[in-house]
């Protein structure tokens, strides 16, 4: 890199490095175990993993007995391996969720390595800490979703690009690995991002037009080639129809169909939602870009994340499916630019962010403790009434272990924010530690309350109990993928969609099902239910009379 990195006036001592490493480990590990798969994304993702473990078919993903070719299976493979390794110690769904922690840790590692390469030795920890502080990472980084593997692949790509002007072999290897992991996790989006970033950098900035850069790209293509070809070739040889279903129906053809209609209002989704998803990283990133606007042609350490962000924003804004979780890759370049701002952030701005974070997280911690105590003591506080109205069937109980962990972490947070030394890094460390505290309180004190409202376990068990012993099949109507997966996992219940199949039973999902739903002369309702206190999803099971 040609830009001379400024000297960090606040080097990290070994003790502080250990503290920051523990903070990252606690953030990654909290919430990975102790609860059922939650709707919607976790439920159907685990359904694919569970089917893989049950039927032994690791080539073509299936959901409750039916092919589900939306994405390549790398994340499902990883989760299935973790589930098998820890099967004697954890429930299958908890073991599988460890894969989320694995990929989240990889993302932190490589964004830290990229930050260290771009901005100096002491900036690796800062990049990782800024990433875990982003609001959009908190919940998603602990869910069973393939987007976490894509995030890891994109982090590897950025790390590779950071080395591409000097160590082209290392750069090419990690770029190729990132492209391959991203492709095997989410399909074509990772190769598209790689191609566009690789083309845009030399097109916009002269410093990237050199031989080492081209060599690194060549090595990256060579490393990525096995990832891009082996699984698709094996899938095609095993089932050409499933290959077409994956490659065309769910990917290329789906995009062409979307492109033919033209972009709509949803294309502005990320511009509207990134301000909160990337908080507090984006103001720091915007500040450093603004301060360096006259020197961008010389600052190749900013050119890479800036171009990567622009490519990701444009590409992801013009794809058929636009959701909040798909914005995760954009947090990586924003984080890197925010890391660059630490050397030029004014003390007043850093202190303002620091005090804002302290007040916000202190208030949230008080609310979480107060609400939990109110439920447990059944007092007359307004927050207690609101919580009981939301889940009137929930019966709170004191879990001593969770209580002790929550109390210890709250005390530790108070000590941490009191003892962290004065530096520009203090504000982002305190913000990340505050986010971690809130997540710990949610996953200890509030986990039973959250799980009771999000788990399908009790509903499926009640349905299973009222089902007849013998029946030929169950026809489903309006049943979501997550619900199908949980019926399979908790009840070993398979449903069918084919209307030509004459099934004895029919399972119908709806918001508020009016009565009667089916002809009473042909069908008899034998069960009706929902998840605990869920008013948005109602289920009815009918048995054929004649």
| Same domain membership, residue 471 and residue 394 | no
| Same domain membership, residue 191 and residue 294 | yes
| Cβ burial, residue 2 (10 Å; 0-12/13-18/19+) | exposed
Tokens of 75: 């994340």
* Residues 214-223 as b or e (16 or more Cβ within 10 Å = b): eebbebbbeb
| Same domain membership, residue 411 and residue 366 | yes
Task: Examine the fold and report which residue of 422, 454, 486 is the final residue of a domain before the chain moves on.
Answer: 454
- pTM score, whole prediction: 0.93
87-105: per-residue pLDDT in tens? 999 999 999 999 999 999 9
| Cβ burial, residue 541 (10 Å; 0-12/13-18/19+) | buried
pLDDT at 4: 47
Q: Decide if 104 is inside a domain.
A: yes
pLDDT at 146: 96
| Same domain membership, residue 309 and residue 162 | yes
| Same domain membership, residue 402 and residue 307 | no
Q: How many residues does the chain have?
A: 546
Interhelix angle for 328-341 vs 92-119, to 10°?
Answer: 40
Interhelix angle for 92-119 vs 300-317, to 10°?
Answer: 140
Q: Decide if 529 is inside a domain.
A: yes
| Same domain membership, residue 290 and residue 195 | yes
pLDDT at 514: 64
| Same domain membership, residue 448 and residue 540 | no
| Same domain membership, residue 534 and residue 508 | yes
| Same domain membership, residue 408 and residue 520 | no
For residue 400, give its domain range.
347-454
Question: Which stretches of the chain score pLDDT less than 70?
Answer: 1-13, 262-263, 419-424, 513-516, 546
Tokens of 353: 């962010």
Q: Decide if 23 is inside a domain.
A: no
| Same domain membership, residue 304 and residue 383 | no
pLDDT at 158: 97
pLDDT at 327: 95
pLDDT at 2: 45
| Same domain membership, residue 326 and residue 196 | yes
* Cβ neighbour number for residue 268 with a 10 Å cutoff: 12
Q: How many domains does the chain have?
A: 3
Task: Examine the fold and report which residue of 341, 361, 387 is the final residue of a domain before the chain moves on.
Answer: 341
292-308: per-residue pLDDT in tens? 888 888 888 999 999 99
């Amino acid at each position: 890199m040609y830009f001379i990195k400024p000297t960090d006036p606040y080097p990290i001592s070994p003790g502080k490095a250990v503290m920051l490493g523990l903070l990252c480990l606690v953030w990654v590990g909290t919430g990975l175990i102790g609860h059922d798969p939650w709707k919607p994304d976790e439920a159907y993702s685990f359904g694919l993993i569970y089917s893989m473990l049950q039927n032994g078919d690791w080539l073509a993903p299936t959901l409750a007995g039916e092919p589900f070719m939306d994405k390549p299976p790398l994340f499902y493979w990883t989760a299935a391996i973790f589930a098998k390794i820890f099967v004697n110690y954890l429930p299958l769904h908890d073991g599988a969720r460890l894969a989320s922690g694995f990929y989240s840790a990889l993302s932190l590692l490589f964004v830290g390595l990229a930050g260290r390469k771009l901005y100096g030795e002491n900036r690796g920890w800062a990049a990782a800490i800024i990433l875990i502080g982003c609001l959009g990472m908190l919940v998603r980084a602990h869910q069973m979703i393939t987007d976490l593997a894509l995030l890891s692949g994109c982090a590897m790509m950025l790390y590779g690009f950071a080395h591409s002007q000097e160590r082209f072999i290392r750069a090419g290897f990690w770029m190729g690995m990132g492209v391959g992991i991203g492709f095997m996790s989410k399909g074509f989006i990772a190769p598209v991002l790689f191609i566009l970033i690789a083309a845009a950098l030399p097109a916009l900035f002269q410093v990237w037009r050199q031989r080492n850069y081209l060599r690194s790209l060549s090595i990256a293509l060579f490393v990525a080639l096995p990832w891009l070809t082996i699984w698709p070739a094996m899938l095609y040889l095993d089932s050409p129809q499933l290959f077409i279903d994956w490659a065309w129906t769910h990917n290329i053809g789906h995009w062409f169909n979307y492109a033919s209609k033209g972009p709509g209002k949803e294309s502005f989704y990320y511009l509207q939602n990134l301000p909160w998803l990337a908080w507090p990283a984006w103001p720091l990133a915007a500040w450093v870009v603004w301060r360096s606007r006259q020197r961008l042609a010389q600052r190749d350490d900013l050119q890479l994340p800036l171009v990567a962000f622009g490519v990701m924003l444009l590409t992801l804004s013009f794809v058929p499916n636009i959701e909040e979780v798909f914005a995760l890759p954009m947090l990586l370049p924003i984080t890197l630019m925010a890391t660059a701002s630490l050397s030029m952030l004014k003390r007043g701005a850093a202190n303002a962010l620091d005090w804002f974070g302290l007040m916000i997280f202190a208030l949230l911690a008080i609310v979480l403790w107060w609400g939990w105590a109110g439920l447990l003591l059944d007092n007359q506080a307004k927050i207690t009434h609101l919580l009981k109205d939301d889940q009137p069937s929930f019966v709170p109980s004191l879990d001593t272990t969770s209580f002790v962990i929550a109390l210890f972490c709250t005390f530790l947070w108070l000590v941490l924010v009191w003892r962290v030394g004065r530096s520009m890094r203090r504000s982002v460390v305190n913000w990340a530690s505050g986010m971690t505290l809130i997540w710990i309180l949610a996953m200890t004190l509030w986990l039973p309350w959250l799980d009771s409202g999000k788990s399908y376990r009790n509903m499926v068990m009640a349905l299973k109990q009222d089902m007849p012993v013998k029946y030929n099949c169950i026809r489903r109507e309006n049943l979501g993928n997550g619900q199908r997966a949980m019926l399979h996992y908790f009840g070993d219940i398979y449903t069918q969609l084919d209307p030509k199949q004459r099934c004895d039973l029919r399972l119908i999902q709806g918001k508020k099902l009016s009565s009667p739903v089916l002809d009473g002369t042909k069908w008899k309702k034998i069960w009706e239910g929902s998840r605990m206190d869920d008013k948005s999803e109602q289920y009815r099971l009918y048995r054929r009379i004649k």
